């Protein structure tokens, strides 16, 4: 398998990129320094040592990018098996997890477009087989596997998804028998959600007509296989629930098939639509050995579509047998009681019957007298109890006579009204005095009081107060505000 390909360490990858010529040059230089005596054995001068090539200096980003390119080139498609750990679905739709095996671990990322294609939900502890390419996340310098697909080990993706959804809905209580509703015994109409192209619909019609000819069938054509099958069945359920007067029961039917063919009935949205249905739902999907999530959520699961038709019409079909059985039991009981009466009549004489009747009447008379005495005694006892209780209540009521409390409360109210009136008068007098003082002070500070002493306020044509003679010129209109009234005038002369 591709997992046996060891990508090596960063040092190994760097050494792979180091030119062999440089390594050979360094080796020759070492050998030349290690054996200087060999030069003396030859008369010709020794060649000059080669100049070593300068070592390349990588930046961090350049080195990581080079290693990432080499890894992606050498390992474009690998299969890795391991156990999921630290599974973290992101809000963006990407899926981040870690594959663990032995003492090693490998970060894995599954981008949104690939994560949406998974048929199961990855969980911590699940053994999977991941396929993808080896790469490096450059901001962290971290080795990772960019996965294209995930497959559970030991079971198919559909089986794992089925088990996960079943466990989740079971924990929510959607499979509880307490929430399942009984089917109406005599439905007027059955809403059938199935494909009109298969033999399932013909089988349902055949069985229904044979067992209950007056039962109406209303068919909602739906897609029962393929990617859009769940949405199509949900549309049928919503339509029947939106028109509750059209049908009394919803029957979801489909023939047998593989798990892939029945995958649409293992959809979570379909399961919740069945659970939320107002009308009872009967699931008849596949053969007797096929089980889907829809079967567990439905109010009734039928092994086959034909069996579903039999279960729906069971009450109508069995009513004639029930009537015949009850009629036979009634006739047998009547014959039995008639035989007993004849036997008793044959063995009983008239004097014995008279004596028995008199004895019975005497016992009934004594019983009647006893009941009359008990009735009179009980009535008298209850009357005494009620009289005693009434006396006690009368005494308690006299002790809690509200007249005295009402008089006391009225006196307290009168005193409170007097106090409130005096306090209001005192407060009003104090505030009136303060108001008069404030008005006197305000009038003393008012410019109108100054005007009363013969002064005036002069305003120019723009309504601005004139404080300096230089602000107006001869001929400018002015207004003089007196203590009472205003005078319009024109400047004839201005002097300092």
pLDDT (tens digit per residue) in 352-385: 778 888 888 888 888 898 899 999 999 999 999 9
What was the pLDDT predicted at 456? 82
Is 480 among the domain residues? yes
Instruction: Indicate if 68 and 210 belong to the same structural domain.
Output: no
Is 62 among the domain residues? yes
Least trusted range by pLDDT, from 51-55, 179-183, 218-222, 299-303: 51-55
Instruction: Indicate if 439 and 456 belong to the same structural domain.
Output: no
**Cα 343 from Cα 320, distance rounded (Å):** 35
Has residue 156 got a pLDDT over 70?
A: no
Instruction: Indicate if 29 and 61 belong to the same structural domain.
Output: yes
What was the pLDDT predicted at 157? 59
Mean per-residue pLDDT for 36-54? Answer: 56
pLDDT tens, residue by residue, 2-43: 344 444 443 344 444 444 444 344 444 434 443 444 344 344
**Cα 266 from Cα 286, distance rounded (Å):** 12
Write down which residue in 135, 154, 173 finishes a domain. Answer: 154
Instruction: Indicate if 136 and 201 belong to the same structural domain.
Output: no
Least trusted range by pLDDT, from 37-46, 84-93, 265-274, 483-492: 37-46
If one compares 160 and 183, the residue with the highest pLDDT of the two is 183
Q: In 3-state terms, what secondary structure has residue 119?
A: coil
DSSP 91: T
Question: Domain of 366?
Answer: 348-388
Has residue 273 got a pLDDT over 60?
A: yes
Name the E strands within 258-360: 281-285, 300-301
Instruction: Indicate if 207 and 91 belong to the same structural domain.
Output: no
What was the pLDDT predicted at 47? 64
Residue 79: CATH number of its domain:
2.40.50.140
What was the pLDDT predicted at 6? 44
Instruction: Indicate if 372 and 418 belong to the same structural domain.
Output: no
Is 324 among the domain residues? no
What was the pLDDT predicted at 480? 86
**Cα 6 from Cα 11, distance rounded (Å):** 13
| Bridge partners for 284 per DSSP | 253
Q: Which residue in 166, 177, 84 sits closest to 123, CA to CA? A: 84
Instruction: Indicate if 425 and 477 belong to the same structural domain.
Output: no
Has residue 297 got a pLDDT over 80?
A: yes
pLDDT interval class at 468 (50, 70, 90) = confident
Mean per-residue pLDDT for 299-305? Answer: 85
Instruction: Indicate if 301 and 208 belong to the same structural domain.
Output: yes
Q: In 3-state terms, what secondary structure has residue 404?
A: helix
Instruction: Indicate if 289 and 211 belong to the same structural domain.
Output: yes
Has residue 287 got a pLDDT over 80?
A: no
**Cα 480 from Cα 424, distance rounded (Å):** 47
Is 67 among the domain residues? yes
What was the pLDDT predicted at 62? 84
**pTM score, two decimals?**
0.39
**CA angle, 413 then 414 then 419, to 5°:** 95
The total of structural domains in the chain comes to: 5
Residue 299: CATH number of its domain:
3.40.50.2300
pLDDT tens, residue by residue, 327-337: 999 999 999 99
Is 416 among the domain residues? yes
Residue 308 has, within 13 A of its CA and on its CB side, a CA count of 34
Residues 6+ apart with CB under 8 A from 265: 229, 230, 233, 252, 254, 283, 285, 292, 293, 294, 295
Instruction: Indicate if 22 and 139 belong to the same structural domain.
Output: yes
Dihedral angle over CA of 106, 110, 111, 113, nearest 10: 160
Query: Tokens for 104?
Result: 């090693």
DSSP 184: P
Is 339 among the domain residues? no
Is 175 among the domain residues? no
Other beta carbons within 10 angstroms of residue 83's beta carbon come to: 15
Instruction: Indicate if 380 and 425 belong to the same structural domain.
Output: no
If one compares 148 and 313, the residue with the highest pLDDT of the two is 148
Dihedral angle over CA of 213, 215, 220, 226, nearest 10: -70
Residue 162 has, within 13 A of its CA and on its CB side, a CA count of 19
Instruction: Indicate if 377 and 261 belong to the same structural domain.
Output: no
pLDDT interval class at 158 (50, 70, 90) = low
Phi-psi region of 443 (alpha: psi -120 to 50; beta: other; left: phi over 0): alpha
Write down which residue in 297, 312, 327 finishes a domain. Answer: 312
Dihedral angle over CA of 375, 377, 380, 381, nearest 10: -110
**H or E segment to which residue 253 belongs:** strand 249-254
């Amino acid at each position: 398998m591709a997992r046996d390909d060891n990508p090596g360490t960063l040092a190994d990858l760097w050494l792979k990129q180091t030119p062999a010529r440089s390594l050979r040059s360094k080796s020759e230089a070492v050998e030349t320094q290690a054996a200087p005596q060999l030069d003396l054995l030859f008369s010709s001068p020794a060649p000059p040592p080669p100049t070593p090539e300068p070592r390349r200096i990588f930046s961090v980003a350049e080195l990581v990018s080079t290693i990432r390119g080499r890894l992606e080139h050498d390992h474009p498609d690998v299969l890795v098996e391991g156990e999921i750990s630290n599974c973290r679905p992101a809000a963006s739709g990407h899926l981040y997890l870690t594959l663990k095996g032995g003492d090693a671990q490998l970060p894995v990322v599954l981008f949104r477009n690939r994560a949406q294609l998974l048929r199961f939900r990855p969980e911590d502890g699940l053994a999977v087989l991941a396929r993808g390419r080896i790469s490096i996340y450059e901001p962290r310098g971290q080795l990772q596997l960019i996965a294209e697909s995930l497959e559970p080990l030991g079971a198919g993706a559909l089986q794992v998804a089925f088990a996960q959804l079943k466990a989740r809905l079971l924990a929510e209580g959607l499979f509880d028998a307490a929430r399942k509703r009984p089917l109406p015994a005599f439905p007027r109409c059955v809403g059938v959600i199935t494909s009109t192209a298969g033999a399932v619909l013909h089988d349902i019609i055949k069985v229904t007509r044979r067992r209950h000819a007056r039962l109406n069938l209303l068919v909602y054509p739906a897609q029962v296989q393929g990617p859009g099958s769940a949405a199509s069945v949900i549309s049928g359920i919503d339509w029947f629930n939106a028109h509750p007067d059209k049908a009394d029961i919803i029957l979801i039917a489909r023939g047998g098939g593989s798990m892939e063919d029945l995958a649409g009935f293992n959809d979570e949205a379909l399961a919740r639509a069945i659970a939320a249905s107002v009308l009872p739902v009967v699931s008849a999907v596949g053969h007797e050995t096929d089980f889907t999530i829809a079967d567990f959520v439905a109010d009734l699961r039928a092994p086959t579509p034909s069996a579903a038709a039999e279960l729906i019409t069971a009450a109508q079909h069995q009513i004639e047998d029930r009537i015949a059985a009850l009629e036979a039991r009634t006739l047998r009981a009547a014959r039995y009681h008639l035989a007993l009466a004849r036997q008793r009549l044959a063995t009983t004489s008239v004097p014995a019957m008279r004596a028995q009747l008199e004895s019975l009447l005497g016992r009934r008379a004594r019983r009647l007298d006893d009941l009359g005495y008990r009735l009179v005694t009980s009535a008298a006892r209850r009357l005494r109890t009620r009289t005693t209780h009434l006396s006690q209540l009368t005494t308690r009521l006299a002790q809690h006579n509200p007249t005295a409390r009402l008089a006391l409360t009225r006196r307290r109210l009168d005193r409170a009204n007097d106090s409130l009136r005096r306090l209001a008068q005192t407060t009003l007098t104090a505030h009136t005095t303060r108001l008069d003082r404030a008005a006197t002070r305000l009038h003393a500070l008012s410019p109108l009081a100054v005007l009363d002493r013969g002064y005036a306020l002069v305003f120019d044509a723009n309504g601005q107060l004139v404080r300096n003679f230089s602000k107006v010129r001869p001929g400018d209109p002015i207004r003089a505000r007196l203590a009472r009234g205003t005078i319009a005038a024109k400047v004839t002369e201005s002097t300092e």
